[in-house]
Chain A
């Protein structure tokens, strides 16, 4: 009796779980129910699927993660633009794993998408994603992080080298060209890490009086940034500034510094909500704002153009902007 009850329960759990998938609201619930009803009504054959495709263009997007504010912002903007343009958008979380992203691309292709947007975890490891899409004749637009593959249809992003330069320059200015700094990096191998570090180096080369005490990756994570900084506070007597390749890590490091009662000048990149607050309060000297929302919606536009057979540029660049105490109020308004 017990065993039968449990096996029934288990099947029920699985069914409920999948129904949860049905009713899940990502702005896609309606469209899925519609196509599900269509498939069932017309006796599940390929024809019904292509009918709904002819009605509505379907695109898929995989981001290296949906577990941080910046990428979620990008995804939401893309969803909003897709809704506005009347196309269906399927969003996938790559879980920081290129293997997962490749699987998601394969699934999107099987699913019959008309276009793909790729936000890769790793510039080389995600190259097969582009190859597979191109082989299937599906346009693929990269967004926000680069992938080393020339067959990409187009790329929408911001020039990370510039971000690195703006970031480092703001610290140099705050230190009057002289001091000891630590650099916290993004995931090694992701284009943003590589290029921001390049930008940072471009500026460092011009100021020989700035000493880099240490540099390490904190994988875009606030908690990792905090841990890394705590260790550096133990290791070094004097640190004048923290150069954070993104806001999350910079904020984590700043928290560690504050906990140790040290007032260390800190700067980050992205302009996320917490960072804007921190710039306002003075915790962050500067945050280099990255228009994730702009990237997300532009990527959808560019992809639609490519799907419709129009010519698209190789790159669409969106500028980084420096947020400091003088202009932070404006940025806060924009973020609404």
Chain B
């Protein structure tokens, strides 16, 4: 009697915790059957290169969501950092590529800090503050060049988005490095524990001496910097600063974090879950494109998967 109970419990838990991985495996299996070209090295490399922008944003979003917040402005920050780095990276300015990179990261950091201050110190709800930033950042981006694109970027800068080291695309390497750093920060440092604590219960966190405001502010800065990196990758990939760059990217970032099992109310979540989340989205985009599923259907499917994932998460939480 006892043995059977234990076994049943184990399976339910397993599915609740690791359901996403099972889902991912199923999806990959499905696409490999439907399209033999799916599992080729070429396609895999492309797929991973295409995932990196959303991956960056999703990682940043995870930090924010863990504190119970949300960052709706990441798409616009991608656009802003991309545009300003492009202006510097033009061959005619004669500026070195790393200056353009610094500018891109700097913009991400600056806008992220504004978000962080608004949410943590001015007590503006995250939804509103980052929604405002979405508009403001986009407006600034359009103003920078009167909505005109900025082509003619230096060769070295362009390598960031389109170059390879061996067969591995540079953006993938950047993403991998960032992931390792974030894993260490989130799970091996006191700071990481504070992030979880702040999201789980801000009041008891504060009472136990954690500077909740600082922690809250910092996660938006992280999200902003990630968006800055994503902006650099995007701009160098499309070889041009685009005024509308990154438009709508926040949706996919939030989706990846949520599919991965990060609770939007904070305190509960896992970085590996986010990875599975954006990999699932990347695989779905690539696989559905390979099968030439109409874009209208792809939107519907994306929405169904996101709501399914959230439903699963909220039902698991009840326990």
Interface residues of A (CB under 8 A from B): 2-4, 6-7, 9-11, 13-15, 17-18, 20-22, 24, 26, 28, 32, 36, 39-40, 44-46, 48-49, 60, 66, 90-93, 95-99, 102-104, 106-107, 109-112, 122, 124-128, 148, 187-189, 217
The one of A4, A21, A48, A95 that contacts B293, using a Cβ cutoff of 8 Å: A21
Which partner residue on chain B sits nearest A122 by CB separation? Answer: B149
The residue among A21, A148, A187 with the most chain B CB atoms within 10 A of its own CB is: A21
Nearest-CB residue, chain B, relative to A66: B295
Chain B contacts of A26 at CB under 8 A? Answer: 292, 294
Please indicate which of the listed interface residues A22, A92, A124 has the most CB atoms of chain B within 10 Å of its own CB. Answer: A124
Asked if A9 meets B308 with Cβ closer than 8 Å, knowing A96-B244, A99-B234, the reply is yes
Tell me if B67 is interfacial: C-beta within 8 Å of chain A: no
B26 touches A125 (CB 8 A): no
Hey, which chain A residues are within 8 Å of B295, CB to CB? 66, 92-93, 95
Q: CA A9 – CA B16 in complex, angstroms? A: 13
CB contacts (< 8 Å) of B300 on chain A: these are 17, 20
> Chain B residues near A11 (CB, 8 Å)?
22-23, 26
Pair A39/B33 contact, Cβ less than 8 Å = yes
* Cα–Cα distance between A15 and B247 once the two chains are bound (Å): 29
Specify which chain A residues have a CB less than 8 angstroms from the CB of B53 in the assembled complex. Answer: 99
**Which of B92-100, B177-185, B193-201, B310-318 makes up part of the contact surface?**
B310-318
A-chain residues with CB within 8 Å of residue B288 when the two chains form the complex: 18, 21
How many residues does chain B have at the interface if contact means C-beta atoms less than 8 Å apart? 64
Q: Which of B261-303 contact A (CB under 8 A)?
A: 285-286, 288-297, 300-301
> Given the complex, which residues of A lie within 8 Å of B285, measured CB to CB?
103
Give the complex CA separation of A127 and B152 in angstroms: 11
The reply to whether the CB of B46 lies closer than 8 angstroms to some CB of chain A is: yes
Q: Which residues in B have their C-beta under 8 angstroms from that of A10? A: 19, 23, 305, 308-309, 311-312
B263 CB to nearest A CB, Å: 15
When distances are taken between beta carbons in the complex, the residues of chain B under 8 Å from A189 are 147-149, 242-243
Contact pick for A24, options B49, B239, B294, CB 8 Å: B294
- Contacts A2-B315, A98-B242; A217 near B301 (Cβ below 8 A): no
Docked-complex contact B234 and A24, CB < 8 angstroms? no
Q: Decide if B305 touches A13 in the complex (CB within 8 Å).
A: yes
A125 touches B149 (CB 8 A): yes
Residues of B within 8 A of A90 (CB): 292
Contact of A128 with B162 in the complex, beta carbons under 8 Å: yes
